[in-house]
Amino acid sequence: MSVKLPVAACLCAALDIDAHELQDAARGLPVRIEEIDGEVEVNGLPITISRAIGSGVPALADRLITLWRLESGRDSVQIIDCCGWTLASRLHRAASQVVQWRTTAGGELLWSTTDLSRAEMAAPMPTAPLVSACTWTTPIHGRVESRLFVQVTGRCNRDASPALDLMVGRLAGDGWHWQRSSPLVAHAERGAVQVQLMASPSPYRPGKPMDERSSVVLIESRPLGGVHR
């Protein structure tokens, strides 16, 4: 079973900032920049996504983070690792910006912009069942070309692999067909609805609740015209 989900779009949320920022930062680096075709929306907001590919991706990410810290202050940039990607985010000019990158597949960086001053649509819930062993965030929803998606993140009171086992068991009990592509990644489908699950250990943070031992990201997608519950 092959399940393709708009992971990049759900991870990206950004502000309406100079569209030449990525090209300027990439000057002189061995990367190729392209705009991702197709209409993309997150929480009802249209987004333009650009991608940089090549061995210069780590240097490009360093340049962008340095620029953000100069513009917004060193402590304004938050950096986390999630699901094989590194994400950097900041709040700037009453909006937010995120860039994500990975060194696998030859090096890839995603950069997106949107105007966050527009009102958000009410967030739908995924139809896939959510286990009570995790505390779930408010959904992020959107559209990538002809598919709708909704994403939630669970903070779970067990280690990453057992947390994923629990989710897979719940899906199987509800009639979803599933497969596990790695110890921390699983895919499932039921009819035209597709789900991707990605688990990761929670990083240590002083003051973090003891029951936050892992995180599970659930991304559900369906064809345009399907309705999320």
Q: pLDDT tens digits for the chain (229 residues)?
A: 333 443 443 443 333 344 467 888 999 999 999 876 655 666 566 667 788 999 999 999 999 999 988 988 878 888 888 778 898 887 666 556 788 999 988 899 988 766 556 545 556 778 999 999 898 887 887 777 778 888 888 889 889 999 999 999 999 999 999 999 888 999 999 999 999 999 998 765 555 555 678 889 999 998 876 544 4
- Catalogue the E-assigned strands of 103-162: 108-113, 134-136, 140-144, 147-156
Domain positions in the chain are: 7-113, 134-223
What kind of architecture, by CATH, is found in domain 7-113?
3-Layer(aba) Sandwich (3.40)
Q: What is the pTM of this model?
A: 0.53
CATH (residue range 134-223): 3.30.310
